[in-house]
Amino acid sequence: MTVAYLEFEDHADELLQARATREMKTAAQSLRLAALDVRRRLIGSPPEGTTIQLDPSVQNPEQRCAELANLAVDVVTATDYLLGMLDAPTDMAPPLSLADEAEPRRGNGALDHRAHDQLTRQRFDARATAVRLGMRLRAELRRDIAKY
């Protein structure tokens, strides 16, 4: 399992370094798939020989597997939210803004700069959350997985 949890660092770093929307989408999807794979190995029915073996020092292995699987789900949720934010049209206010906070569109359909700035900030916040959760899952896997 050492390869799988090291992928989190790679995917999270790629997501953190991405500048263009397309790069962010690709990195977020890779991080999402890696988290789903870890969850499947912890809880589901993984292919033979690919289960995650917890370190013998882990006090309650079943509970810890559930905690790690829940954290993997948090990574998936964060990346799904980010992907949704990246797919949001940039010519409209983001879904979390109040309608009266955004200035109305100008006559030629020009972008409301405040709404665009808000959407951009929300995208960066969503990216930071996905990266933070991915790195947290990676760190916890590194700590609790048996070394072999």
13-28 pLDDT, tens digit per residue, is 899 999 888 999 999 9
pLDDT at site 77: 97
Q: What pLDDT, on the 0 to 100 scale, is given for residue 6?
A: 52
pTM of the model: 0.77
Print the domain residue range for 14. Answer: 2-144
- The predicted-structure confidence for 108-117, as pLDDT tens digits, reads as follows 344 577 878 8
Helix, strand, coil percent content, the chain, rounded in steps of 5 = 70, 0, 30
According to DSSP, the residues that pair with 36 across neighbouring strands are: none
Q: What is the pLDDT of residue 97?
A: 45
Q: pLDDT by residue (tens digit) across 25-41?
A: 999 999 999 999 888 88
Cα separation, 105 vs 130, in Å, equals 31
DSSP secondary structure letter of residue 100 = G
Contacts of 102 (CB under 8 A, 6+ apart): 93, 112, 114, 115, 118
Indicate if the pLDDT at residue 126 is higher than 90: yes
Selection from 121, 123, 118 nearest residue 82 by Cα: 123
> What local confidence, expressed as pLDDT, does residue 108 receive?
39
How many domains does the chain contain in total? Answer: 1
Identify the helix (H) or strand (E) that includes residue 47: none
Cα(54)–Cα(66) distance, rounded to whole angstroms? 12
- pLDDT band, residue 2 (cuts 50/70/90): very low
Looking up tokens 């990574």, which residue turns up?
A: 75
Contact 27, 8 (CB under 8 A): no
pLDDT in the model for residue 109: 44
What would the pLDDT profile of 59-76 be if each residue is shown by its tens digit?
888 888 899 999 999 999
The Cα 135–Cα 138 span in angstroms is 5
User: What pLDDT score was predicted for residue 148?
Assistant: 33
Distance CA 52, CA 117 (A): 42
pLDDT in tens, 81-118: 999 999 877 655 545 444 444 444 444 344 577 878 88
Q: What is the pLDDT of residue 79?
A: 97
**DSSP secondary structure string for all residues of 102-142:** SPPPPTT----HHHHHHHHHHHHHHHHHHHHHHHHHHHHHH
